[in-house]
Each structure stands twice: as C-alpha cells, then as structure tokens.
C-alpha cells in the first residue's frame, strides 16, 4: 500500500483536520440554536418584535453573529493549532478552503435555526442536537467512510452539506485542489445551505407568529 498524501503515516495529519471539521458542525448548530432558545426563554424575541424589524432580520442577525464567531475560532485553530503547533502540511490554498468553510458555517447555522423552531425548551433542543448532529458527523465521512452504510442511507447523505464539504476540504488540504475541481462541492454546499436557511426562516416566522 502506498501513502500518496501521508508518506510518513502520521495519523495526526488526518485526525487533527477531521476533528476540526466535525466540531465546526457541532458548535455552529449548538450556538445558533441555543442563542435563539435563550432569547425566547427570556422574552427577548418579544421585545424585538415591537421594534421596526422583521422575523427574517432577527433570525438572520442571529445566524450572522454566531457564524462569524465560529468562523473566526475555526480560522485561528487551523492556522495556529493545526498548521503551527501540530505541523500539519496544507497542500492547497488556505483562502479557498476558508471560502468553503464560510459556506458550511452558514449552512449548519441554518440547521441549528431550524432545530430551534421545532424545540420549545433548551432540553428539547439538546435532544434534537444529539439525534441530528451526531448522525451528520458519522455519515459525512468525518468518523467513518461514507461508503460504509447501506445504499439507501448513502443516498440520504447527499442532503448533508457536511458530506460535500468534507470532500472539498480533503481535496484542498491534502491534494492541493483548487476551485477548478472543487467548485461542484462548493455549489452543493451553497444550494443546500440556502434550502435549509429558507426552511428555517419560514419555521421561525411561524413560531414567532404563533407566540
């Protein structure tokens, strides 16, 4: 067996990046959903509704705020911990990789917002996160190969933005791929993210309207 992209057999190269990508999804969903849950529990959303703002603007501002925090922390972890401290080589372009990461952060933030519209308390939201985020991490090629599950389950994983993002990230970080070969994955992440954002904003608007 030849190691084309890890000639030294250093497991830290792949494990560090995979762990970083998995926690990116986890933290984005949790922070976005928990922020809105807390605002609803403390009555902040009702206070905002008397201001000249729409439910769309309230939800989008929450998504933007949490997405920017997670994105900044991810960038610092990649450049300082992974690249400098663990000395993991990055073959491709860091700006291209961060562009794809930015798209995934918005997609996963939309999923967190969608879970928030379903849950009515922090306890319910925590249960939804367990049955949603963990399967996403397992089925997106982050913990095990995406070809391991049955065929019907593999077809469902095409609806997960994280699956396409992981394929994009490995192509950029380890194989030195650019936008010329990774643009299909980026487009899929953007399309799925827009779909989840639309569904979450519709659900949030209905939740606010119902009280």
Residue 157 pLDDT class (50, 70, 90 cuts): confident
Q: What's the whole-number average pLDDT of the chain?
A: 80
Rounded CA-CA distance 64/106 in Å is: 8
Question: Tens digits of per-residue pLDDT, 51-100?
Answer: 777 777 777 787 888 888 888 988 998 888 888 888 888 888 889 989 98
pTM of the model: 0.81
Question: Tens digits of per-residue pLDDT, 169-204?
Answer: 888 888 888 888 888 888 998 898 888 888 888 877
Rounded CA-CA distance 103/200 in Å is: 16
> In angstroms, how far is CA 56 from the centroid of its own chain?
20
Rounded CA-CA distance 58/31 in Å is: 15
Question: Tens digits of per-residue pLDDT, 102-115?
Answer: 888 888 888 888 88
């Amino acid at each position: 067996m030849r190691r084309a992209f890890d000639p030294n057999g250093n497991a830290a190269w792949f494990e560090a990046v995979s762990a970083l990508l998995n926690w990116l999804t986890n933290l984005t969903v949790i922070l976005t959903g928990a922020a809105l849950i807390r605002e609803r529990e403390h009555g902040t959303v009702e206070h905002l509704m008397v201001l000249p703002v729409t439910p769309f603007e309230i939800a989008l501002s929450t998504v933007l705020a949490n997405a920017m925090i997670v994105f900044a922390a991810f960038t610092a972890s990649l450049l300082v911990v992974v690249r400098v401290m663990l000395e993991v080589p990055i073959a491709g372009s860091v700006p291209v990789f961060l562009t794809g990461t930015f798209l995934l952060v918005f997609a996963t933030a939309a999923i967190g917002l969608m879970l928030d519209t379903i849950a009515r308390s922090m306890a319910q939201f925590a249960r939804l996160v367990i049955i949603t985020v963990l399967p996403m991490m397992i089925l997106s090629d982050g913990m095990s190969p995406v070809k391991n599950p049955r065929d019907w389950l593999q077809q469902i994983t095409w609806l997960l933005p994280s699956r396409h993002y992981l394929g994009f990230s490995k192509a950029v970080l380890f194989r030195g791929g650019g936008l010329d070969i990774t643009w299909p994955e980026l487009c899929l992440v953007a399309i799925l993210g827009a779909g989840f954002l639309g569904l979450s904003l519709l659900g949030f608007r209905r939740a606010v309207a119902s009280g």
